[in-house]
Structure 1
Amino acid sequence: MKNLIRNNKGFLAFLVLFGVFRTAVADWNPIPSSSMHPNLLEGDVVLVNRVAFDLKVPLTDVVLARVGEPERGDIVTFRSPRDGQLLIKRLVALPGDVVEMRNERLYINGRGADYRVVEHSMDSVGGSAVRAVQLAESFNGARRHIQLIPDVMAPRTFGPVTIPQGQYLMLGDNRDNSADSRVIGLVPRKLLVGRAERVLVSADYQGNWMPRTERFGMSLYRPQ
C-alpha cells in the first residue's frame, strides 16, 4: 500500500485538489428533470459558481465569508429544506419581498409581471404528451422565458407571503411541473450551493443521444 501511494502521489494529489475545487470553487451538475423548461433541458450539464454567494470550507457547509448576494432572476443550485436533495430553480423573491401568484401571474411587492406569448408547443408529463405554452415574463426590466402547462393540476395561486430575512423563494421556469417553494417551502441562505452560469455540454439522452452542440457554452442569462 505504501508503494502504491508513493508511486501515485502525484495522481492522488490531483484527485484531492480536484475534489476541493469542485466542492469549494466550481462544479458541474447534470439536469435530470423538466422543471426548468424551456431554459434548461434534460441532458444539459451546467457550470455552477460555488463562490457566487459564500466562501465555504472545502467539503463542508461552513461559511468563511459572504462573497456576494443572491439576486432575483438568478438560477440557483441548493439543498432542499425538505430532504436535502440537490435542486436547481429560479430565485424569484428576496428577503423582505411580498410575493404572491394569482392564476399564474406573479406579483412582487404589489407589482405584477408582464407576459407575452412566445410559442405553443408540446411537452411530456408522466410520460404523456401535453399542450404547453412558452411565455416571456418581464419584471423590472428583466425578462425570462417560462412555460405553462394548462391541462395539468398545479398550484397556480398562493400568497401573499412576506419572505423572512435569510430566506428565498424559488420557482421552476416550468411553472406547472416543478416541485419548488410551493411544495418544499422557502430556502434558507445556508442551503444555497451556487449560481448556475452556463451550459457546458448537452446531449439528447432521452432521444438519440446526439450532442446539442448549439447549447455548448450557452449563457443562462442571455437576452430573451
Structure 2
Amino acid sequence: MQIKLKTLYSENKSFILFILLMCVFRSAVADWNEVPTGSMQPTIVEGDRILVNKVAYDVQMPFSHHSLYKLADPLRGDIIIFDSEVSDKRLVKRVVGVPGDTIAMIDNTLYINDQRLEYIDDKNNGRFSDKIEDLLGVQHRIRIANGGSALSSFTTVSVPAGYYLAMGDNRDNSADSRVIGLVPRHEIIGRAQQVVVSLNYDNYYLPRSERFLHTL
C-alpha cells in the first residue's frame, strides 16, 4: 500500500502541489461565491458568481477565520461576505453602518448620524422601484417594494466598536442586520467588487454575457 502511495505521489506530485496551492489560495487570498438569492438586487442577481477578495481587510491563516494581520476595516458602502453564526450561512450584504454610527430607517429612507440620505428615482414596474441611494458619498442602486414591508422601518441603532450594520440592496427582501443583528468584525471574510460569471437560472443556466466581469 505504501509503495502504491509513493508511486502515485511520485507520478503526480506536480498536480498534487498545484491542487494544494490552489486550495490555499482560495482559502486565504481570493475565491468566488455563488449568489443564489435576490437579496442584493439590483446590484447582484441570482446566478452571479462574485469574486471575493479575502485580503481586502485581513491576512488570514489558510483554512481558518484567524486574522494574522489586519490590513483595513470595512467602509460604509462596501459589499462584504461574512459567515454568519446567527443564520449559519455565508451571506453577501452591503455595509450601511460602521462603528460609531447611529442608523435609523423610516419608510425605506435611511438616516445616518441624523442625516437623511438622498435618493434618485431610477425604475418603477408597479410592484417595486429601483432607486439610486447616496450612502454619504457612495452611490449605489437599491430596490424597494412600493407597498413597503415589515423591514421598511426600524428605530435608531447605535453601532458599537467591532460591529457593522449590513443590509441587502433589495431592502424589503433581505435577511440582514434587521433580522440577524449587527455583524461582528471577525465574521467578515472579504469584499466583493466584481462578478466573475453569471448563469441564468431561468434560461437553462446559460451564461449572461453582459454580466461577465461586471463591476459591482
Q: TM-score range by the shorter chain?
A: over 0.9
- 1:135 and 2:135 aligned: no
1-structure distance, mates of 2:147, 2:115 = 27
Which of 76, 80, 98 in structure 1 is aligned with 2:80? 76
CA distance in 2, matches of 1:73, 1:141: 9
Give the one of 184, 187, 198 matched to 2:180. Answer: 184
Is the partner of 2:50 in helix, strand or coil? Answer: strand
Q: Could you say which residue in structure 2 is the equivalent of 1:128?
A: none
Whether 1:149 aligns to 2:139 is: no
Q: Which residue of 2 aligns with 1:19?
A: 23
- AA partner of residue 102 (structure 2): V
Instruction: Give the residue type in structure 1 aligned to 2:46.
Output: E
Q: 1:113 to 1:152 in 2, by over 3 A?
A: closer
Number of equivalences: 212
Per the alignment, residue 105 of structure 1 pairs with 109
Residue 192 of structure 1 deviates from its aligned partner by: 0.2
Of the structure 1 ranges 47-56 and 80-89, higher mean CA displacement relative to structure 2 is found in 80-89
Residue 112 of structure 1 aligns to which amino acid in structure 2? R
The whole-number CA distance in structure 2 between the counterparts of 1:178 and 1:50 is 23
Structure 2 residue runs of 5 or longer lacking an equivalent are: none
Deviation at 1:152, TM superposition (A): 6.2
Q: Distance in 1 between matches of 2:85 and 2:104?
A: 20
Q: Where does residue 41 of structure 1 map in the other structure?
A: 45
The amino acid across from 1:101 in the alignment is: M
Residue in structure 2 matching 1:217, options 180, 198, 213 = 213
- CA RMSD of superposed structures (Å): 1.3
1:54 aligns with 2:58: yes
Deviations 1:118-177 (A, max 9, x none): 01137xxxxxxxx11101111323211000123463321112111010000000000000
Are residues 1:200 and 2:204 paired?
no
| Partner residue, 2:167 | 171
Give the TM-score, by structure 2 length: 0.94
- Asked if 1:32 corresponds to 2:28, the answer is no
Normalising by structure 1, what TM-score?
A: 0.91
- Please give the alpha-carbon distance, in whole angstroms, between the structure 1 residues aligned to 2:19 and 2:148: 46
Mapped to 1, the partners of 2:113 and 2:14 lie a distance apart of: 55
**Alignment partner of 1:41: what SS?**
coil
CA distance in 2, matches of 1:138, 1:164: 23
What is the one-letter code of the residue matched to 1:153? S
2: CA distance between counterparts of 1:91 and 1:145?
14
Provide Cα deviations, 1:49-87, integer angstroms capped at 9, x if missing partner.
000001111111111110112100000000113033100
SS in structure 2 of the partner of residue 203 of structure 1: strand
CA deviations 1:89-132 (Å, max 9, x no partner) are 0010000100111111101100011112101137xxxxxxxx11
Query: What is the aligned partner in structure 1 of residue 9 from structure 2?
Result: 5
The secondary structure found in structure 1 opposite 2:128 is strand
Contact 1:154 1:177 in 2 (8 A): no
Q: Identity percentage over the alignment?
A: 44
